[in-house]
Amino acid sequence: MSQHTHLPSLKSSLRAPFLVLYPVFFIGALGIVLSMAGADQPQTNVDQRQVLKHEVVVAVKLVQVYVTGKDGKPVEDLTAEDFEISDNGRIVPVEHLERHFPNVSEEILKTSLPTPRMNRKFILFFDFAFCNEKGALKAKKAGLHFLASELRPSDEVALLSYTAGRGLMLHEFLTTDHQKIRRIVDGFGLKDIAGRAERLTEFMFKADPDLSREDEEDKVLFSWFDARPNPRVGEIRRLAYTDQTRRFFLVLNNLAKALRSVPGYKNIVLFSAGIARQILYGRKGGVSVGEWQTPEQLAQQLADYDEAQADSGLRNDLSLALKEFKASNCPIYAVDVSRVQEEVDVAFSGGSASAASEIAGADSLRQVASDTGGKYYASTVDAKASMDDIKNVTGAYYILGYTIDEQWDGKFHKIKVKVKRKDCEVQTQGGYFNPKPFSKYSSFERLLHMIDLALNENPQFQIPHEVGLVALPVLVKGWSQVAAFTRIPEDLAEDVVGKKSEALFLVFDGKGNMVTLKNYRLKIPEDAKGSLIPSFLVPIQPGRYSFRMVIRNMETGRGARGFTTLIVPEAPPASVRLDPPLLLTADRNAHDIGSSSQATLSSLYAYDRDSYAPLSGGIPAGTGKLYAALRCSRGSGTSEMEFSVSLSEEGSQVKTDVPFTAIGRSVDGDTQFCLLELTPAVPKPGRYQLHISVQKTGSGESASTASVVTFK
């Protein structure tokens, strides 16, 4: 993997006792995160069209390296000359070097090519299936402490949880918004808080007509979406513990495979009580078959003997998963949240400490940590010390960079790093995988690709085109709504719009919570030329919002997106109301696209879409004519509406009248539509306020609106 690559990124039932099992209908969730995660393909800061053609490109490969001395402490003064890197056996020069140590983060050597960031990454993994309520609460407390005090601002965090009823859930993709992660963790078991990735995943799944319940790969998506808390607890508890364990190990195996595409170390902080010792390693001392007097006694002895034996198949499944984690550069820091040794488990019928140890999971957690290069933290009353140690262990490292000829073949490259200075121990990633074409992505990978594009401020899979987004509050038949659109120029449309493309619209409230999701397939005529104007119209309550629109080519993965914010006002009590104007330009080649022919801007504002197209972004200062489409609620009666238009520099109270001509009028119920041709005299480039007022003839009722316009 090269520069721009990260993994991705539940409602939890905290009431699952250690040996009480729930069916994993949601093993498909594993597929979503895992197969999806395999989508993490590297991108470079080179011309994206080169990438799409899958040509060989020069890219910067970054490697995260930990170096310690004989005393076990980090070595902090190494230079590029002290390192030797080999890529598939070929020695490559170190062209980039960064030092990251507590309170120090500096770039020492920089390549001539654009170089991405490689932040420290943590994946918080809450295993709620194999612990009781007390353990779940302990995990939650430790996780909140980690998020509150152990992270650097640049650290990227993903959040996963595993429950017996729903399987593996991705709550949030790798993000530096630690407060958002904290709010989700704080809500585990108490509040109905969903991560953005979780919300977007379920939405995209429901809205994707290409998914089929007959397709083997897509079935896991349906099993995720269809999973619901099952009230038939008595029936669920009859499921076998070993079956639940086997499913859990399969989840881990697939998750590890997905993470192999993410560059650098992915530090997994696993909060779990582990798997019962006797099922993996056998009962201590074993059980022998002795004398028996009746067939029933023999049957009981044989059953006890079988129960005391280790399940070699499960142990092998665990070993395979841990090998994948190690190969994917994912050390697991296993935090034991089972009961503390001194505590008495009154629910355990065995009564003795020896018997209790047979169902304890400490041994499995030790193996998980040891086999992946991580660390095991024993159960304590307060897990804060464990969190502090993880911070220290992962907090001192180098980032080395070298250039490669990157090919889109998905092949693995083995990396070795040596330090020429004596008495230094080096720990680094074992290698990386080349990217693969978007056409090779699975359904899960495509879903994760969209999560990354739609939610991440700095997407990992690609460098998307940024476009302007315009959002206007409108009143439609008395209901508050927002009309949002973007303009995709013809040259850009060739890159991000193809035979199969989609538009996605996301609405976030003032707290950053996702409140609305809409999408549709773009239906573009095959011979279409000119700009594309995709738009959405969605109901909305008054308040402060931020909006994102994403346009993605579903054949190549290329995307464009726009952001904007808006305060939606309360509807005025007056009967005469004027919505903000939609500014237009004379354009016969633009294509007005909505979810249907009735859900377009031209339908909403009643203008001729074959002659005009909405403007987004700045207006050339020399523009002689400008058009404004208006929507006005005139209340009862049939009186005509008189308009006036003026312009003022932003921050100035001085208004200049703008000459205009009404070139179109129409009426639909109590709404009057008007198209004005404006001839503004703009003295200089800058930001201006466009003021439009309307007065109802006869009654004197009036309304006004103002919009910010930029002349460049």
Confidence of residue 403 (pLDDT cuts 50, 70, 90): very high
- Together in a domain, 140 and 216: yes
Based on the fold, state whether residues 443 and 482 are members of the same structural domain: no
Cα separation, 460 vs 260, in Å, equals: 14
- The answer to whether residue 650 is domain-embedded is yes
User: CATH number of the domain that 694 lies in?
Assistant: 2.60.40.3880
Amino acid at 171: H
Query: In angstroms, what CA-CA distances link 99 with 20, 73, 80, 105, 263?
Result: 48, 15, 11, 6, 17
Please give the full DSSP string across 500-559, using - where no structure is assigned: SEEEEEEEEETTS-EEEEEEEE----TT--S-EEEEEEEE--SEEEEEEEEEEETTT--E
Nearest-CA neighbor of 173 among 6, 9, 5? 9
How many domains does one find in the chain? 3
Domain end among 443, 459, 475 = 459
Q: At what angle do helices 443-455 and 196-207 cross, to 10 degrees?
A: 130
**Which residues, in sequence order, are CB contacts of 130 under 8 Å at separation 6+?**
18, 248, 272, 273, 274, 275, 361
The answer for 508, left when phi > 0, alpha when psi is -120 to 50, beta otherwise, is beta
Alpha-carbon gap, residue 221 to 213, rounded angstroms: 9
What are the structure tokens assigned to 637, written together?
Answer: 């009666």
C-alpha–C-alpha distance, residues 197 and 448, integer Å: 8
Mean pLDDT of the region 83-89 = 95
- Does 432 score more than 70 pLDDT? yes
- The pLDDT of 695-709, averaged and rounded, is 84
Q: How far is it, in rounded angstroms, from Cα 472 to Cα 547?
A: 11
- Nearest Cα neighbor of 642 from 694, 579, 590 is 694
Whether the per-residue pLDDT at 85 is higher than 70: the answer is yes
- How many other CB atoms are found less than 10 A from the CB of residue 640? 11
DSSP string, 568-634: EPPPPSSS-EEPPPEEEEE-SS-EEE-SSTTSSHHHHHT--TTTEEE--S-B-TT---EEEEEEEE-
pLDDT(217) > 70: no
Taking residues 566-587, what's their average pLDDT?
87
Residue 598 lies in a domain: no
Q: What are phi and psi of 403, to 5 degrees?
A: -95, 150
Q: What's the distance, Cα to Cα, between the start and end of the chain in Å?
A: 41
The letter for the amino acid at 124 is L
φ, ψ dihedrals at 355, nearest 5°: -65, -35
Do 698 and 668 share a structural domain?
A: yes
In a domain, 293, yes or no: no
Hey, how many other C-beta atoms are within 10 angstroms of the C-beta on 28? 24
Q: Do 471 and 455 belong together in one domain?
A: no
State the pLDDT confidence band at 165, using cuts at 50, 70 and 90: confident
Number of H helices and E strands in the chain, helices first, is: 17, 34
Identify whether residues 628 and 712 lie together within a single domain.
yes
- Give the Cα separation of 460 and 318 in Å (integer): 30
312 or 11, which is more confident?
Answer: 312
The average pLDDT across 544-549 equals 95
**Tokens 């439609």 correspond to what residue?**
476
C-alpha 170/C-alpha 176 separation (Å) is 16
Max mean pLDDT among 338-342, 667-671, 698-702 falls in 667-671
Is residue 88 a contact partner of residue 74, using CB atoms and an 8 Å limit? no
Do the strands 121-127 and 266-272 form a parallel or antiparallel pair, or are they unpaired?
parallel
* Per-residue tokens: 422: 């004596």
234: confidence class by pLDDT, cuts 50, 70, 90: very low
C-alpha 110/C-alpha 400 separation (Å) is 10
Average the pLDDT over each of 231-235, 511-515, 589-593 and give the range with the smallest value: 231-235
Residue 597 located in a structural domain = no
Q: Average pLDDT for residues 666-691, to the nearest whole number?
A: 88
> Picking from 15-19, 250-254, 558-562, which range would have the lowest pLDDT averaged per residue?
15-19
Nearest to 164 by CA among 257, 78, 58, 239: 239
Sheet containing 332-336: order of strands:
167-175, 156-163, 121-127, 266-272, 332-336, 375-377
pLDDT of residue 498: 84
Which pLDDT band, with edges at 50, 70 and 90, does 430 fall under?
Answer: confident
In this structure, are 145 and 179 located in the same domain?
yes
Q: Please tell me the distance from the alpha carbon of residue 396 to that of residue 88, in angstroms, as a whole number.
A: 26
Question: Residues 586, 525: one domain?
Answer: no
Q: Which long-range contacts (CB under 8 A, 24 or more apart) does 655-662 make?
A: 655/691, 656/681, 658/690, 660/628
pLDDT digits (tens, 9 = 90+) for 58-80: 888 999 999 999 888 899 999 99
Query: In terms of Cα–Cα distance, which of 538, 536, 544 is closest to 479?
Result: 538
- The answer as to whether 125 is a domain residue is yes
Return the pLDDT at 6: 31
- Please tell me the least confidently modeled range out of 196-210, 330-344, 371-385, 698-712: 196-210
Q: pLDDT band at residue 452, thresholds of 50, 70 and 90?
A: confident
CA distances from 236 to 136, 226, 228 (A): 20, 17, 13
CB contact at 8 A, 95 and 83: no
Quick one: 473 and 439 in the same domain? no
Band of the pLDDT at 385, cuts 50, 70, 90?
A: confident
Answer whether residue 407 is part of any domain: yes
Strand order across the beta sheet in which 641-649 lies: 656-657, 641-649, 686-696, 702-711
* Mean pLDDT on 703-709: 89
Cβ–Cβ under 8 Å, residues 187 and 179: no
Q: How far apart are CA 114 and CA 3, in angstroms?
A: 9
Is residue 306 in some structural domain?
no
CATH number at residue 237: 3.40.50.410
Confidence label for 570 from pLDDT (cuts 50, 70 and 90): confident
Short-list 706, 585, 710, CA closest to 646: 706
Calculate mean pLDDT across residues 206-226: 51
Domain residues for the domain of 559 are 464-571
CATH label of the domain that carries residue 543: 2.60.40.10
CA distance 550 to 467: 10
Q: Is the pLDDT of residue 546 over 90?
A: yes
Same domain, 172 and 320: yes
| Least confident window among 36-40, 79-83, 618-622, 648-652 | 36-40
Give the closest residue to 14 by CA, choosing from 132, 130, 126, 125.
Answer: 132
Q: Are residues 452 and 530 in the same domain?
A: no
- 222 plus 353 within the same structural domain: yes
CA dihedral sign, ordered 550, 551, 554, 556: negative
Q: In the listed set 442, 459, 476, which residue is the last one of a domain according to the structure?
A: 459
User: What are the residue ranges of helices labelled H in 84-174?
Assistant: 133-149
Which tens digits make up the pLDDT trace of 16-25? Answer: 222 222 223 2
* Residue finishing a domain among 434, 459, 484: 459
C-alpha pair distances (Å), 407 with each of 41, 226, 459: 12, 39, 21
The Cβ of residue 118 has, within 10 Å, a number of other Cβ atoms equal to: 24
CA 181 → CA 62, 80, 113, 146, distances in Å?
27, 36, 33, 11
Among left, alpha and beta (phi > 0; psi -120 to 50; other), residue 686 is left
What's the CA gap between 428 and 442, in Å, rounded? 29
**Mean pLDDT score, 247-269:** 83
Q: Do 142 and 94 have their domain in common?
A: yes
